[in-house]
Structure 1
Amino acid sequence: MERLFTGTVVRATGSWYEVHTDEGNVRCRIRGRLRLRGVRSTNPVVVGDAVRCEAAADGSCVIAEVLPRRNYVIRRASNLSKESHIIASNLDQAMLLVTLAEPQTAPEFVDRFLVTCEAYKVPATILLSKSDLQQREALARFRAVYEGAGYRVLEVSAREGTGLEAVGALLAGRTTLVAGNSGVGKSTLVKAVDPALDIRTGEISGSHHKGRHTTTFSTMYPLAGGGWIIDTPGIKGFGLIDIDDAELWHYFPEMMRHAPGCRFYNCTHTHEPGCAVAEAVERGEIARARYESYLKIRSEDEKYRK
């Protein structure tokens, strides 16, 4: 006779899944026909999912159903794909680790990640990682751009201990996704905040100045102070999916603040006369770098929406 139970996916490898229950963690497979309605995803079950499982008499367990998600962070599976890759679900917040050097995080990557968080209602905080290795002027410029947009930006350094207390306070009692490019120090930072966690860390490749992958699969860890943290493999690119041109600007908070002043209700903020957003850019009230990123995303992603 089969036994039914529910739990939360805390580790996903693609072939098996670890599900956290009140009685401990259970190793499960997914039912072959399991697919989510309306979601063309390369991974139907992700870390953070609440799932309903079945345990057979022989002790084997399968995930039979994914319960409704309250939110998730998603990206395009590849540049030319119409399928999505969901990174994690049921999040209270996301933390994006950014480095301005060794290695450098591309501003467009930052903006695409933030757009996705806005679209799927996941509050985001930016962590300027390895702040002890960054130039103070570059840090100040970055903070001015993203704090001006409305995001909280924290400078952190696992080596120096900078910002760890503030990060720990943000993590307490919440389910948090930690994301970023390879080599920005995600696993190192998480381990510094909670040394009890068994997380692999690595070094930057000296020849290519790029990070080595130390996290192979997304894993959700319980924190000593309460809450959960999701450590993810480094992300190289972040293609948007299911966001069309007409709504893209809705996910730039600083543009949303100025858009009501536009002459036309359907202003695209690209060329129209009387555009309050473009005027705010000229006055320096919206960072030009963010506005140019918006235009670039519109232009580059148009071919994927046809």
Structure 2
Amino acid sequence: MEREYTATVVQSTGSWYRLRSDSGEWVEARIRGKLRLRGSRSTSPVVVGDRVDYRFDARGEAVITDIRPRRNYIIRRSPNLSKESHIIAANIDQAFLVVSLFSPSTSYEFIDRFLVTCEAYRIPATILLNKIDLARTRPQELGEFLETYSLAGYRVLTLSAADGEGVEGLRELLAGRTTLLSGNSGVGKSTLVAALEPGADVRTGAVSEFHHKGKHTTTFSQMYPLSDGGFLIDTPGIKGFGLLDIGADELARYFPDLMRFAPGCQFYNCTHVHEPGCAVQQAVREGGIAFRRYESYLKMLDEDEKYRK
């Protein structure tokens, strides 16, 4: 019988995968056809962070034969096919969402969709506000952003990857853990990876002056081993984050700020939209919940309804 080995997927190009074996060896592998069928609802059945079994075929090429059960993953609706899913990465200890207020601007709704998905799959999430030097020039917008997510209960770290501000403190939070780094194109993810791990082979790019949008510098997900221990998963820039398999009746559960007030609602099945005696709506009026967060909740209820049928 052919011998099987176990490894972690550290890079995915869509057709070939780079593996890091448990003995520390690097292996280039492809997947077997049956795995493609099993992952038919996903744009890729094997993702970075997966633990996989593999063997060498008669030609000496490594072939992934099975995927070990995932303890968690980050998933979104595929941007092109509403019934398809796109798993970004698997087996994650924590997720860091890199955002910027300017050049480019990250929308609140995008942030909230990402956070909802992390809550649904029980992955601790932290917001990294990059390009803080630019944000400080607009103190009102900066203050509103920090207050919004402080009220929601999320940790927000401010930094400037280009200047090194805040990078050392972030490095300490990554040690010994597998961390997903995600965000829109142009927010500085690749620059941040290069600052955190200078030896990493990371391409960086500028922001388009015409559209004020980021140019894609990472074309596939990749996991980098960190000098202080642990791994950092850098992902391609994401434009949208469609929710998947989260019903309208459970969406509010993944907004921690809404759930703090929900027990005070008059009706146990309150949707926090039109019911009388809604403690959540009252908290929004009184400033206990940031209006932008509540607005994101309403948009998700409305815009994603067609995908929940």
Shorter-chain TM-score tier: over 0.9
Moved more, 79-88 or 196-205: 79-88
Give the match for residue 303 of structure 1: 306
Give the match for residue 96 of structure 1: 97
* Structure 1 residues 1-306: aligned runs within 5 Å: 2-21=2-21, 22-35=23-36, 40-78=41-79, 80-134=81-135, 135-306=138-309
Distance in 2 separating the partners of 1:23 and 1:250: 41
User: Are the counterparts in 1 of residues 177 and 231 from structure 2 also a CA contact under 8 Å?
Assistant: yes
Give the structure-1-normalised TM-score.
Answer: 0.97
Moved more, 77-86 or 125-134: 77-86
User: Are the counterparts in 1 of residues 38 and 45 from structure 2 also a CA contact under 8 Å?
Assistant: no
Shift of 1:207: 1.7
User: Are the counterparts in 2 of residues 258 and 280 from structure 1 also a CA contact under 8 Å?
Assistant: yes
Letter of the 2:292 counterpart: A
Letter of the 1:236 counterpart: K
Letter of the 1:146 counterpart: Y
Letter of the 2:11 counterpart: R
Distance in 2 separating the partners of 1:159 and 1:50: 33
Letter of the 1:72 counterpart: Y
What secondary structure is seen at the aligned counterpart in 1 of 2:268? coil
Distance in 2 separating the partners of 1:58 and 1:84: 33
Moved more, 294-303 or 156-165: 156-165
User: Are the counterparts in 1 of residues 39 and 45 from structure 2 also a CA contact under 8 Å?
Assistant: no
What secondary structure is seen at the aligned counterpart in 2 of 1:33? helix
Letter of the 2:79 counterpart: S
Distance in 1 separating the partners of 2:37 and 2:261: 38
Q: Residue by residue, what CA displacement relative to the aligned partner does 1:261-305 show, whole Å, maximum 9, x if unpaired?
A: 111111111111111111111110000110011001100000111
User: Are the counterparts in 2 of residues 2 and 57 from structure 1 also a CA contact under 8 Å?
Assistant: no
Q: Structure 1 pair 92/254, CA: closer, same or farther in 2 (3 Å)?
A: same
Distance in 1 separating the partners of 2:39 and 2:121: 16
Distance in 1 separating the partners of 2:263 and 2:113: 23
Structure 1 ranges of 4+ moved more than 3 A: 35-39
What is the identity percentage for the equivalent residue pairs of Structure 1 and Structure 2? 64
What secondary structure is seen at the aligned counterpart in 2 of 1:267? coil
Shift of 1:151: 0.4
What secondary structure is seen at the aligned counterpart in 2 of 1:278? helix
Shift of 1:163: 1.0
Q: Residue by residue, what CA displacement relative to the aligned partner does 1:20-63 show, whole Å, maximum 9, x if unpaired?
A: 11141111000011148687211100000000111124311111
What secondary structure is seen at the aligned counterpart in 2 of 1:110? helix
Letter of the 1:108 counterpart: E
Distance in 1 separating the partners of 2:130 and 2:71: 29
Distance in 1 separating the partners of 2:226 and 2:185: 23
| CA-atom RMSD in angstroms | 1.3
Size of the alignment, in residue pairs?
A: 306
User: Are the counterparts in 2 of residues 3 and 56 from structure 1 also a CA contact under 8 Å?
Assistant: no
Shift of 1:183: 0.3
User: Are the counterparts in 2 of residues 79 and 239 from structure 1 also a CA contact under 8 Å?
Assistant: no
